[in-house]
């Protein structure tokens, strides 16, 4: 039985004040939740949020990391540094990083390996664009992204989380229907079986893309949807908690 996981990807949002308020709002309501809850602020707020999560059942994640471990890499943050300040998770391969910052499948693969090496759980994001879906290439694209990210990692499959985020559903208000999402999640699980027969059933596959309190229950009731990666709605305490409750 997979425990549900709901992660809030705060993206490039938040001031010192708003991040403190959001964190304490989530922590105060999270104690009753029977799901793994993860908050992913920007790098410079990680330390502050980490301190606020001590003695709570909420865990910390980063939105990206370097594939490099240390050295002359100006502006980078290594997975070991994230682990040291309290991160357990790191989002990798988000479509915004792929499309806006030119991250390739090879970059994602190197980051996944580095994250696992530092003891972090990578949340590996995959998803097709609208054009790719309309060309009936959604499964082909998702399979290629997934196999590249997991290349050589069959022994580590039990230590990763996958997030299916159709690019056309991110921040658009358009959500995949529960049936569309379940169909892709079942396909992803079949691809994971090719990576490791033994561990594919252990992997939590999150759905992301315009998840809201109104659509969360229908999505999370699907057999292969094990929680969500939440953008906009994770910036409002009540909406985020309602989504976490729907996953519980
Ligand atoms: O990109 C997302 C989470 O990583 C989804 O964002 P929205 O929930 O705002 O659509």
Q: What is the ipTM of this complex?
A: 0.99
**What tokens appear for 41 in the block?**
């602020």
Q: Which residue has the tokens 């399979």?
A: 143
Ligand 1, residues 8, 209, 228: which to mutate, most atoms within 8 A of Cβ?
Answer: 209
Q: CB under 6 Å to ligand 1: residues?
A: 9, 94, 165, 170-171, 208-211, 229-233
Active-site residue list: 94, 165
Q: Which residue has the tokens 């009731």?
A: 221
Length of the chain: 248
| Ligand 1 atom at minimal distance to the Cα of residue 171 | 10
Cβ-contact 8, 31 below 8 angstroms: no
Residuewise pLDDT in 10s, the chain (248 residues): 899 999 999 999 999 999 999 999 999 999 989 999 999 999 999 999 999 999 999 999 999 999 999 999 999 999 999 999 999 999 999 999 999 999 999 999 999 999 999 999 999 999 999 999 999 999 999 999 999 999 999 999 999 999 999 999 998 988 899 999 999 999 999 999 999 999 999 999 999 999 999 999 999 999 999 999 999 999 999 999 999 999 99
Ligand 1 center to 6 CA (angstroms): 12
CATH number of 5-247: 3.20.20.70
Burial bucket for residue 199 (CB in 10 Å: 0-12, 13-18, 19+): middle
Closest protein CA for atom 2 of ligand 1 = 231
Please list, in sequence order, all residues whose beta carbon lies within 8 angstroms of the beta carbon of residue 71, skipping any fewer than 6 positions away: none
Domain range summary for the chain, segments of one domain joined by +: 5-247
Which 3 state secondary structure label does DSSP give 163?
Answer: strand
Q: How many CB atoms lie within 10 A of CB 125?
A: 27
Please list, in sequence order, all residues whose beta carbon lies within 8 angstroms of the beta carbon of residue 236, skipping any fewer than 6 positions away: none
| Ligand 1 atom at minimal distance to the Cα of residue 232 | 9
**What tokens appear for 75 in the block?**
């502006």
Cα-based angle 175, 178, 183 (whole degrees, multiple of 5)? 110
Closest protein CA for atom 3 of ligand 1 = 231
- Do the annotations mark residue 232 as ligand-binding? yes
Cβ-contact 17, 226 below 8 angstroms: no
Q: How many CB atoms lie within 10 A of CB 143?
A: 16
**What is the chain's alpha carbon radius of gyration, rounded to the nearest angstrom?**
17
**What tokens appear for 107 in the block?**
């970059």
């Amino acid at each position: 039985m997979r425990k549900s996981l709901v992660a809030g990807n705060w993206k490039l949002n938040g001031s010192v004040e708003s991040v403190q308020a959001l964190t304490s709002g989530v922590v105060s309501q999270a104690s009753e939740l029977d799901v793994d809850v993860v908050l992913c602020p920007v790098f410079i707020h990680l330390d502050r949020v980490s301190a606020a999560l001590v003695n709570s059942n909420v865990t910390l994640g980063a939105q990206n990391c370097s594939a490099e471990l240390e050295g002359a890499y100006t502006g980078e943050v290594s997975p070991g540094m994230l682990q040291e300040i309290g991160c357990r998770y790191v989002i990798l391969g988000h479509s915004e990083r792929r499309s806006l910052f030119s991250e390739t499948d090879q970059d994602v693969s190197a980051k996944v390996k580095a994250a696992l090496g530092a003891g972090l759980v990578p949340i590996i994001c995959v998803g097709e664009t609208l054009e790719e879906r309309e060309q009936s290439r959604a499964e082909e694209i998702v399979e290629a992204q997934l196999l590249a990210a997991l290349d050589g990692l069959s022994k580590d499959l039990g230590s990763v989380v996958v997030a299916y985020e159709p690019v056309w559903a991110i921040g658009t208000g358009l959500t995949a229907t529960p049936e569309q999402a379940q169909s892709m999640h079942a396909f992803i699980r079949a691809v994971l079986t090719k990576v490791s027969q033994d561990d594919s059933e252990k992997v939590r596959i999150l759905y992301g893309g315009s998840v809201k309190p109104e659509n969360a229950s229908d999505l999370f009731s699907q057999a292969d949807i094990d929680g969500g990666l939440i953008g906009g709605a994770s910036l409002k305490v009540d909406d985020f908690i309602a989504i976490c409750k729907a996953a519980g």
